Structure formats: structure tokens, C-alpha cells
Structure 1
Amino acid sequence: MDFDDVINKRYSVRGYLDKDVEQEKLDYVLNAATLAPTGVNYQPFKVYVIDTKKNKEALSEIYSAKWFTQAPYVLCVVAQTDKSWVRKWDNKNISDIDATIVMDHIILAATNVGLGTCYIAAFKPDKARELLQLEDSEEPVLFTPLGYGDAEPRDTPRKEIDEFAVYL
């Protein structure tokens, strides 16, 4: 797919087929994470690849939608807050920004190889920390199922450019 196809075909998939994801597609998606830009290229993140069949109950406690555990995998991008760049003027730690960029690369790469995803930020962080056994300096930022979609896109109206672009 060319880039325009990828960004136009991506949607939040809320239903998945019971079909395995080929290892080469999973590797392609994970490789995209390594290419994501991060502050000062510190790469302060981990990507957890969670087998849904082995972890269905724990995942259901993190986010309760039934479709969340239908795909063969759920990925979680975790920020390493102690390893990220901090803006010196206001001490803003950008680990959450870095992790979000990583997830965006993952989601666009998945779309490019015919896989479905859905950004999940509305999860229970304490349950995520428990499953992933995170250190205090690690923060779960986003989850996504990863698999073959079995749901049509919902109508999601988009703002017109003049509603968000501010020219100075």
C-alpha cells in the first residue's frame, strides 16, 4: 500500500477473526516500532506482545470490551520514564509522547499488512501493571489488539482543516 492508502484505510477495529497472525507480519509491525522517532533517539519504551488465549482473563480485567481479546495478540506500549528525554525549560518528561509515536507506527504498519488494530487508552492501569509486572519507572501508555479484522468501520466524522489549523 502507498501511504495515502494506509492512512485512509486505517480504522479502529472492534471485532477480530479467530485467525493466527503470521510471524513475518508480527515482526514487520514490531520493526516499525524501532523506526519511530523518540526524543534524542533514547528509545525509552518496551512493547509487550500478549497472547490473548493465555491471558484472556487478565486482559479482560484491563479492558472489558469482548472484542479486545478476540485477536490473537494484544500489544502494549510501555514508557520507560526514567530513560526518556526531559525538556529542560519545564522538566516535561516526554515518555508518553514517545510511546504514542511508537504505537502510531505499530498501527500504521499493521494496516499496511492487512491487520486490524484499535488504540486503547481507556484501560485500568493498575491491572495492566499487575499483568505486565512493571517497575515503578514504567508506565503502560496504550494497548491495541492485533489481528485480522472482522468488523466494519464506524462513521467517524472528521474536522475540516479550517476547524483545527491555526496560521500565524
Structure 2
Amino acid sequence: MDFLELAKKRYSCRAYRSDEVEQEKLDPILEAGRIAPTGANRQPQRILVVRTPDGMEKLARCARTCGAPLALVVCADTEEAWIRPADGKQIADIDATIVTAHMMLEAASLGLGSLWVCMFDPDGLRREFMLPARLTPVNILLVGYADGTPASPDRYDRTRKALAETVVYDTFERFE
């Protein structure tokens, strides 16, 4: 399967079977996150694997879990992230997001559903999972076997803007 085919196959899965995700599938998902590019190769990502019923119950107090059997809480170590010299922007959140995207696509390649969750209580996560102060929770990736019919890979023709609406060449002048 080529990359565009895989990207179109992936969808936001909001219903999961109770089947556990096998370690043989979790390992390559985590490896996809490990090899993701990060600013200046600082690798500030810290990933909390939540897969016990107790852990998922804790997570459910902080975010919607949709019945997923596994969650990856992607955090950024703010003391290790690269900072852009021109304006001082620290890119830990960007790095964590790239890591999340890699893991999400690897999950899809393994036949697993996933849901990228950004609506959660960061302070709740800190309390429930004893996150150190230097770690900022950025994303939660729910992972599991989808329950229901997957979204059609052809949906993008209807649900996405045309390239002409989002891409310009050489200048943004026409948007002024």
C-alpha cells in the first residue's frame, strides 16, 4: 500500500472492540514514534502507554476514551525541546505532534483504528499519572480494533477543500 492510500484509509475511530492490542502490534507503533523527526533531533517526546483497565479508567476521568483498550499519551519534555533562535519558539508541541502522526499511521497500516484526542484535562492527566512538571501532555492517541464500518477512503473528495483553496506558489499575494 502506498502512502496516500494508507493516509486515506486512516480515519477517526470512535468505537472499539474490547480486544487487546497485541504487543507485536504495539511495538512497531511505538517504533514509528521513536523514529519520527524532531527539531535538531532532540527527541523530547515521552510516551505513556495506558492499557490496563485501571489506567484506562484514570484516563477516562480526563478525556473521552470511546471504549479503546489502549491509549498513548504523548508528552513533550519542555527542557529538551529545540528552540528556534529567530523568535524563541520552543517546538516541543510540534515534535510531539509529529510523533503522534507517525504512530497513528503505523496503527492504520497494522489494521488498527485510532483517534487523535486533543480535548482533555492536562492537570487531570498530571494528577492521575504523576507526570513530572517538565512534561507537557500534548496529544492522546486512542488505539484498538475498530467496531463498526470504517469511513470510506473516498470521503476526502467531499470533506476536504480543493488544493487551490489551501496551496499557493511563491507568494500569498492573492490572499490579501
TM-score (norm 1): 0.92
* Runs of 4+ with deviation above 6 angstroms: none
Code of the residue aligned with 1:23 in structure 2: it is Q
Question: Would you say the 8 A contact 1:33–1:106 is kept in 2?
Answer: yes
Q: Supply the distance in 1 between the matched residues of 2:14 and 2:52 (Cα, whole angstroms).
A: 15
Q: Supply the distance in 1 between the matched residues of 2:35 and 2:56 (Cα, whole angstroms).
A: 30
Shift of 1:159: 1.0
1:56 is matched with: 56
The percent of aligned pairs where both chains have the same amino acid is 41
1:165 is matched with: 167
Q: Supply the distance in 1 between the matched residues of 2:18 and 2:84 (Cα, whole angstroms).
A: 44
TM-score (norm 2): 0.88
1:151 is matched with: 148
Q: Supply the distance in 2 between the matched residues of 1:4 and 1:56 (Cα, whole angstroms).
A: 32
Structure 1: give runs of 5+ residues left out of the alignment: none
- Residues 1:37 and 2:34 are matched in the alignment: no
Q: Are residues 69 and 48 of structure 1, via their aligned partners in 2, closer, same or farther at CA, if it must alter by over 3 Å?
A: farther
Q: Supply the distance in 2 between the matched residues of 1:102 and 1:116 (Cα, whole angstroms).
A: 17
Question: Would you say the 8 A contact 1:13–1:151 is kept in 2?
Answer: no
Question: Would you say the 8 A contact 1:42–1:83 is kept in 2?
Answer: yes
| SS class of match (2:115) | coil
Code of the residue aligned with 1:112 in structure 2: it is S
1:22 is matched with: 22
Shift of 1:52: 4.6
Cα deviations across residues 55-91 of structure 1 (Å, max 9, x unaligned)? 233211111x3xx152221111000011010011111
| Equivalent residue for 1:112, pick from 109, 112, 122 | 109
Shift of 1:129: 1.1
Aligned length: 165
